[in-house]
Chain A
Amino acid sequence: MPKITIDNRIVEVEDGDTLLQSCLDEDLEIPHFCYHPAMSAPANCRQCLVEVGMPRVDRETRERVLDEDGNPVIDFMPKLQTSCSMKVADGMVVRSHRTSELVKRAQKDNLEFLLINHPLDCPICDQAGHCPLQNQTYKYGPEGSRFEFRKVMKPKNIELGPRVVLDGERCINCTRCTRFTQEISGSHQLTIIERGVRNYPMTPPGVVFDEPYSMNVIDICPVGALTSKDHRFKARIWEMSQTPSISTTNAKGSNCVYHVKDNLVMNVTARTNMDVNEFWLADEDRLDYRKFNENRPEGPAIGGQAADWDAAYAEAARLLQSTSGQRVFFLGSALSTTEDNYLLARLAEHLGADAPAYIPHIEAGHGDNWLRTDDRAPNTQGCERLGFSALDAEVLKSRLAGGDIDVLYVMEDDPVGEGLCELADLEGVKVIVHHHHTTNETLPAAAVAIPAAMAVETVGTFVNCDGHAQRLRPAKAIKGVNRTLAMEVGKSRADLHGTPFDRWYTESNMVDCEPGWVSIPAIAERVGLSLSYKGPRAIMAELSEDNPAFTGATYDAMGESGVRLDVTHQPDTHTQTA
């Protein structure tokens, strides 16, 4: 591996890497805008300038020339170099703003230029607070401006497509967005138009920027030029907490960040995981968040009447014991965590019932070989690896019609809404439902209804379509009081953009629900089964020991980027990306 010297520090770098990436990998910040590790480097923002020198080599001997002290003689290039386009080479000597006044000055000069035609409307800009231009100006920019002319006016509030809005004046022409559509998504829906200082990105004539990944350009735009039509002006970044977690829209399990304000999910953005989604997130993953906020239940019910939690658990336990285990049908859920499904399987086993089945959520033709899959559920693989089988509609219907089922136990899914049976089929069956939404169509048949925490409110594990096990973290608080959950909420809601004075605790919009790993043990205890774990972490620890399909999937190992599970246990379902 080549060795280079950056600001008097000798570091080993990856051959073929760019100088900028090597510096960033060493935690040596170099201000930059246009460079993005996944895309070509046009070196157009000119912010990442550094001084670069190479050891002098004797023409004849090909040896390095040494000075009197035996140190290699370094020849610095006459011009500053853009570190994003410069490949590292052994012996290279680099001076950044930390050691070079020239570089410091050049960075300042460049920021002065970048700002002269920038509208500086940070007070009303969605990017303010997490804006590379704003941050780097504070760190490396000039104190004021010497520009005394009218700024260039460009089109504003332009809907490039249904989801992305452009403010041309804020654009600094880094071409990250156009390169995304050219090099990453391949849609070619954006290009730069006009010339010189009037440049801005636009769709070609007759084209709408509506590709299913369009909103990624909002993430990578280094200023507030591209904003989300859905989220813009709804919340400032510092008013929200940021939780690294997993998307629930499909089986890819793209890594994302949930932005939460007052216990409401306000926005979803991409989180880098090179093993899963790299830097990107599908638009559907970003927009499908209202389900966490709306139509949420308020506490349990017995026979449609509000009840307290104890009574609901007791009634559920009573119903489960009112018949033989063989006549209780358990439905697990590809929408629930592996931990909750595992507890449900333990309960079923204890009662002598068959292993739970799960409802497949397949939408044929939806997948695209990238981050969207035909499977619209996040944890089908988790269910499969637990040995659950996909529920066949005909089987359920015929068993219901044959009167084989006395109790139907539904965890976090909706057999009626999914078309697996009709309410009429459930007459005479005692239905226990853990539900996410008041719109759950199975609810009218529910003898006991138990509100369940959703993916953004719980702790647990999803296994994606490629067998990648990843942790969910709670992004918003629920009413249910639980030490484990409270601690996890505290740990996972990073206050990335706020101040030490921010107060995240608020009672507003807390949903009166419980995670499965609280409610199932509560019911189990009442039928004589102890499922007392110290939270989901302990459940997963046990599973990873006992079940080879989950070997290695401990919370510590999964961390923030997950663990690839053994492929030999990868069930061959039609849910994988083709």
Chain B
Amino acid sequence: MRRVYLEHGGAPGEARIENESRRRFLQGAAGLTLAVYLPGAVGKAAIRTASTSFEPNAFVSIGSDNSVTVFAKHLEMGQGSYTGLATIVAEELDADWAQVRVEGAPADAKRYNNLLWGPAQGTGGSTAIANSWEQLRKAGASARAMLVAAAAQQWKVPADEITVSNGVVAHATSKRRANFGQLAAAAASQTVPAEVALKDPKDFKLVGKHAPRKDSLGKTTGKAIFTQDIHLPGMLTAVVAHPPRFGARVTSFDATKAKAVKGVVAVVQIPTGVAVLAKNTWSAKQGRDALSVEWDEATAFRIGSDEIMTRYRELAKTPGAIARKDGDPDSALAGAAQKIEASFEFPYLAHAAMEPMNCVVRLNKDGTCELWNGEQMHTADQGRVAALFGIAPEKVTIHSLYAGGGFGRRANKDSDYVLEAASIVKASGLNVPVKMVWLREDDMQAGYYRPMFHHSLQAALDAQGNPVAWKHRLVGQSIILGSPFEAFLIKDGIDAVSVEGASTLPYQIPNLLVDLHTPKDIGVPVLWWRSVGSTHTAFSTEIVIDELAVAAKKDPVDFRLGLLSKHPRHAGVLKLAAEKAGWGTPLPAGKPGERRGRGVAVHESFHSFVAEVAEVTVKPDGSFSVDRVVAAVDCGVAVNPDVIKAQVEGSVGFALSAVLYGRITLKEGVVEQSNFHDYQQISISEMPKVEVHIVPSGEKPTGIGEPAVPPLAPAVANAIAAATGKRLRSLPIETELLKA
């Protein structure tokens, strides 16, 4: 049987045909695989010329057409993973960047697991580059060694006299040269080297230099394929009626009107609602809108977000489970010269990726199943879908496509939308592929939000202005509870991601307490949202440290540096951002009536360090603009500096939407927002100028998809405080508070 793989960046309708045996070969072989692309024809698909490929390992394939294909085990959702992963392989392989293409790897817990997650394949926690760095360097270097060995054998020259550069293998004395394609077949019969030498970083030609994105062409011509774009023969599109409240179930439904809609083929009940299957999306949507469904809300969650916050405020009055305790904070507070007390409130946030959740599922006659998805949790989704259909996990093939954003949403801890799509196929019994699409309203109201949080902080200075006490209490739902990560991330009742950034406060303060309440009776599904716990902990901690600096009559940068002697990487980015931003020099004045200010924040998340300096202008009516953000980042070796820069720019804008507008509210359990009119995003006119400076580093590379998000909100709030004297306590920022 042949399978069709949609190729990223290829024209729609274009497909690559692979012989099934190739994958079997791959599965059976630990190291070396010879794979054969067979020509064939399916529909109007364009077929590549037959070629022999050399696949020294699971990550790279070299075709006799001289193409180098890198198999990316991680999702490309905008963060540049395909480009970054390919850069690493191409570097050690000494490939020409132009010959490199990238393809999403299928689900495979053994070959494609995230090395930081154990036997699970998935993307998250800014780990894509961090866990792949050594693995892909070795993959590239092994392939290179085998190409060299093949050339040495063919040319009868010593291997150590052969050079490889820009995709050309050469032997100077004999003047022999060959490209990778010419050597691919011979390389395939070489032994996989047990050990390979990796390059000295000073010889890097791509890492740390400019390697253009691999997805730019497809994404600027409309040819890049997302889940939403899949069309399979006989496929139906499904739109689902979901319950109005979390935890409600279908009692009964009347599909008469829905079935009368032209194009509607079937209406089926599934565990999460009622699905309308139609020949196209518009018919499915109209069918869904014409449905009438009775919901059983006996076990539904019926509480509003205001009431939830009221409960959190009450909880915050009592001690929680201790996440960190140093010294004796209570006595230190009692004896302190100056005290600061503040509480902070954070709303639920929807991810609102530009591509709403969707998934294509096909159950084949031979009992196998295929998913087309912007896949972020490969093996977990594979396992759950397999269980639903009662088949073995390896019978579920995942075609990993680009995702139109994710911000955490596609890494669903319960495989929610993927299972919903599979459930529709199961319930329909129609034996046709189904594309389930969520409309924007479905996506926004389906839950799995960044949890609401309440923080209360007390901090104190001694008579010399040194911080002596810090007490930080957090209240909010656990993301990890009930997820596959529970065993790793919950210890002694503390969900590590609820307190990350708070319990890891880097500042040297002798008496410190961080405690946590984890309410378990809130039925709103919660999930990691780009930078997770740091979305709220960076805000409260960096505002209070700033207030301490002001109370101590010290410069906020110097004050922080004085407390960071054991954290040189925090200090490094802080100094660099301050210097580049002109910290300490006066800001140009605004127009009459405008108040201007500069603020700073520094935060570590996912082992990367980011400091940001924000400049704001506050108008008399309280509205404000963020005019300029200067960021300094230390994420170890900068694999692709331009992608890092882009991620920081994007993170600043993403974080600013949450600062200005982000808020999901519930009224009696019903989500009040539905689309971009009431869950607003910043537009181009609100985007600040962003300058990004990268700290040169020889440390192992760490992620940059998330770490530039957390410092933005506190830097802006501190800048507003500098401009207006008003300290902000909650997000999104209420401009009413800032009226002159």
Are the chains A and B members of one assembly? no
Binding site for A on B (CB under 8 A): none
